[in-house]
Amino acid sequence: MKILSLILVLPLLLTTVSPVLAEQNKRQELRQENQEKRVETRQDNRQQKSQAALKRLRQGIVNRYEATLKNKARIEARIAEIEAKNNTSEKKRDLTAAKAKLATFNTSKYLADLAAFDAKSVEVASSETPYKLTSEMKTLAKTLQSDIKDLRQVLIDSLRLVIKAR
């Protein structure tokens, strides 16, 4: 009798409990989906922020390089102006040392390092964990900055030689 009553009541219990379990399962699935979406948006935000930072860093380096090239053009113009005056004046100025120093201005190392920086930037952009590559990016950026510093030192030395030639 007890078994018979249990068999009759069991389907009733299952029908009343099933909707509650189904609702809990739906909630659990929704929570899981929302969490996955949050993780995806966080990863997207990280990648966007890292790409924006790399873009700003590269733009700053390129701007410093372009300013260095403008300074080189000014020094070359000054040397040309002094040479033009040398042709008309009695007092001649010797600018061979300044010209020789300016001839050592070589941008090939900078351009090679910039290409390596760009290649690493592409690698960072496609990486799922860009923060693991930041140390390499920092060393490349420091190398680029030291290249520009060396180029500027050449310009400073050549300008000093132009001034001394007076």
| Helix ranges, 89-107 (H) | 96-103
How many separate domains does the chain show? 1
- Determine the structural domain holding residue 138 and report its residue range: 2-164
Which of 9-23, 66-80, 117-131 is modeled with the greatest confidence?
66-80
User: Which pLDDT band, with edges at 50, 70 and 90, does 25 fall under?
Assistant: confident
d(CA 123, CA 48): 14
Burial class (CB in 10 A: 0-12, 13-18, 19+), 69: middle
Look up residue 155 and give its two tokens.
């310009």
The pair of three-digit structure tokens given for residue 74, joined into one six-digit string: 């000014």
Give the model's confidence band at 5: pLDDT under 50 very low, under 70 low, under 90 confident, else very high. low
| Residue indicated by tokens 């509650």 | 20
pLDDT tens for residues 110-150? Answer: 999 999 999 998 888 887 777 788 888 899 999 999 999 99
- Measure CA 14 to chain center: 60
Structure tokens at 129: 């964990």
Query: Which of the listed ranges 33-37, 150-154, 159-163 does the model predict with the highest average pLDDT?
Result: 150-154
CA dihedral 17, 20, 22, 26 (to 10 degrees): -170
**Phi, psi (degrees; rounded to nearest 5) at 160:** -60, -40
Instruction: Return all residues near 144 (Cβ < 8 A) that are at least 6 apart.
Output: 61, 110, 113, 114, 117
